[in-house]
Structure 1
Amino acid sequence: MQDPQATPRSAGPTPAPAPANAAQVVADQRIRAVGVLLNTSALVERVLGSAIQREAGISHSMFEVLLILAADAADAEAADPAAPAGTPMRRLSGGLVLTSGGATRLIDRMVEAGLVTRTPSESDRRVQLVRMTGLGESTLVTAAAAHIREADRLVGAALSPTEASGLTTALDRLGHQARAALPPLG
């Protein structure tokens, strides 16, 4: 099976013209599909974010930072256990689709909460490396338990395992397409 991210999708049939009146706008499946996606995403974000905040005391954005740090640390450890650990701030802002200023403010709050540390890179002092602390790791584990429980409750009640798998594949492909369409964040 080929990687869906590596396989370009054909352009398919010529898209229908843009709607010419309000009735056509409301009936346009492209508009409806994206609207359903965005509304559902916002609702799921609220459910998961509330559970994470209630049980782990962090925002969903902080949870996402901790996930990136954990994944990067595991990848770095596997590649070279002796390499200095840390994720560059630029990677965090790109991974979270935040401006560098937004990422800096979020990391500042996480440093104050004791969840992460931030230090200059030894090889390039302009680069700030972020590392998860022990408190950050235990908070991540607590938040992940809330996230998994709520995701199981939502997804398990609405989708079969096959549907959930197909949705994951399709949304991942759509996310890659959207990320590629974004201008670089400053």
Structure 2
Amino acid sequence: MRDDHEFGSAKEAANDPRILVFGRLLGAANGLEYLLGKALENETGLTHSLFELLLVVGRAGEGGISTKGIAQAKVLTSGGATRLVHRGVELGLVSRRASTEDRRVQIVELTPEGERLAVEASTIHARNIEQLVLAILPANDLGAFEESVKVLSKHAASQLPVMP
């Protein structure tokens, strides 16, 4: 199909294979995020957003990550990241401190409780992903699936603007 193809009707447009595959991708992602997020919250008390905060901060390792880095990683505005970090601080999962290089920059690190909960929740989340996603795909397709998701994720991240 040519990129400049004009559709003759809404039905034709809605049944375009490119539009269908993207809609299915979004539907799968949204449905799985709901199911996995609900299971995680039921089993650990953590919302999916707070769990992702723990993962982003945990991935940063020693020295932590700036609030701006969290915003970019989670595709949030700086205000959204600040509110998320504030919730994490209130719950004792992360701590905030001024950067030694630039006191205007806030560095976020896991607390011992945040570290413990990140590990516990990740164990549960990995099990749930195995059951709801990986176990239903043909075993010989898993490598290609993982690589395709990685390529899509990296490309999307490279196209995103710097979050305000």
TM-score, normalised via structure 2 length: 0.92
Alpha-carbon deviations, 1:32-74, whole Å to 9, x = none?
011000000011101111111112211111111111222211x
Amino acid at match of 1:39: G
1:47 equivalenced with 2:25 (yes/no): no
Which residue of structure 1 lines up, in the alignment, with residue 10 of structure 2?
22
Of 98, 109, 119, 1:131 maps to: 109
Q: Are the structure 2 counterparts of residues 18 and 61 from structure 1 closer, same or farther at C-alpha, using a change threshold of 3 Å?
A: farther
- Consecutive unaligned residues of structure 1, counting only runs of 5 or more, are 1-12, 77-84
Structure 1 position 106, deviation (Å)? 0.5
C-alpha separation in 1, matches of 2:127 and 2:152: 25
C-alpha separation in 2, matches of 1:18 and 1:179: 29
Amino acid at match of 1:103: A
Structure 1 position 185, deviation (Å)? 1.5
| Structure ranking higher on relative contact order (CA contacts 8 Å, 6+ apart) | 1
Give me the identity figure in percent.
36
Of 22, 32, 35, 1:34 maps to: 22
1:66 equivalenced with 2:54 (yes/no): yes
C-alpha separation in 1, matches of 2:147 and 2:7: 29
TM-score, normalised via structure 1 length: 0.82
1:110 equivalenced with 2:83 (yes/no): no
Which residue of structure 2 lines up, in the alignment, with residue 172 of structure 1?
150
Structure 1 position 14, deviation (Å)? 4.8
C-alpha separation in 2, matches of 1:44 and 1:164: 17
Of 127, 132, 142, 2:120 maps to: 142
Question: What is the number of equivalent residue pairs in this alignment?
Answer: 164
Q: Are the structure 2 counterparts of residues 16 and 154 from structure 1 closer, same or farther at C-alpha, using a change threshold of 3 Å?
A: farther
